[in-house]
Amino acid sequence: MATTELGAALRHWRDHVPPQAVGLPGGGRRRAAGLRREELSQLAGISADYIIRLEQGRATSPSPQIVEALARALRLTQNERAHLFRLAGLALPGPGMVPRHITPGVHRMLDRLAGTPVAVFDAAWNQLLANPLYTALMGEWHGDDRNGVWRNFLTPDHRVRQTPESRGALQASLVADLRRTAARYPDDPDLKTLIAELRRRSADFETLWESGSVGEHQAARKTVDHPSVGALTLDCDILNVAGSDLRIMVYSAQPGTEDADRLALLNVIGTQSLVG
């Protein structure tokens, strides 16, 4: 039983989010129409035990990262998110912080693109959300590898085919984009830590950072070597969400091509294996 306002609010929102509304299968025998704690745990990347302790009032001081993840998983509006931060005794992230809130409208748009690989990144290239087909296409990332800049400099073993020239161009583009983000959000401690660690651990990043270039990472055509369906050459488009600086990455294949057929096959076998 909830013993704090924070716990009661979390339980209320969880009970009023149907699983179908967040991309989870419905049906079966359920005591309530809303999300189970285990489902919220899966969506937010937070242990179910910690969610129980929050709802029961045994945990009362969640971090801003935890609150942001819960707001995103519960698909809260801006006002509801602000209320959740207040109940947790936290100030809303200020204008100098990288925005990480995904609005319900963006969630609904992604729901309608279930047959298209789509992921949402913040302005520092942290992956906030990916649909099952995107994960099936690109693989599932954890920890520091959820950041696209980190992955491209420090974890080179990924599925996108690259030449030395294309890899260099991508890295230069990402560093220029990250420098632009750092200027827009000077108060974000996670962003400062990311940049400091990249400068310390990657000589290539340090050289590019010292060049002082500022720019925006652009879309491209990419070939993905997938272990199950083979090579897919796809258009990778990046859409910017006005007012939040989120980046929506969308992969698509030209209709009627072998690439489109392979993507359709992956939509069947890849997402099934993820669900399994």
Over residues 14-21, mean pLDDT: 84
Long-range pairs of 91-95 with CB within 8 A, sequence gap ≥ 24: 93/64, 93/68, 94/187
Q: Which amino acid is at 21?
A: A
Q: Look over the chain and give the mean of its residue pLDDT values, rounded to a whole number.
A: 90
- The pLDDT assigned to 101 comes to 92
Tokens of 202: 């990657």
What integer pLDDT is reported at residue 217 of this predicted model? 76
State pLDDT tens for residues 24-37.
766 566 666 789 99
Q: Considering only the C-alpha atoms of the chain, give the largest distance between any 2 of them, rounded to a whole number of Å.
A: 59
pTM reported for the whole predicted model: 0.86
| 257-273 pLDDT per residue, tens | 999 999 999 999 875 55
User: Contact at 8 Å (CB) between 123 and 245?
Assistant: yes
CA atoms of 27 and 150, how far apart (whole Å): 40
Strands across the sheet containing 230-241: 127-130, 118-121, 246-252, 230-241, 220-226
What pLDDT is stored for residue 274 in this prediction? Answer: 47
What is the pLDDT, as a whole number, of residue 275?
47
Summarised one tens digit per residue, pLDDT across range 91-126 is 998 889 999 999 888 998 898 998 999 999 999 999
Q: Which residues contact 184 (CB under 8 A, 6 or more apart)?
A: 123, 245
Per-residue DSSP letter, 161: -
Neighbours of 155 (CB within 10 A): 13
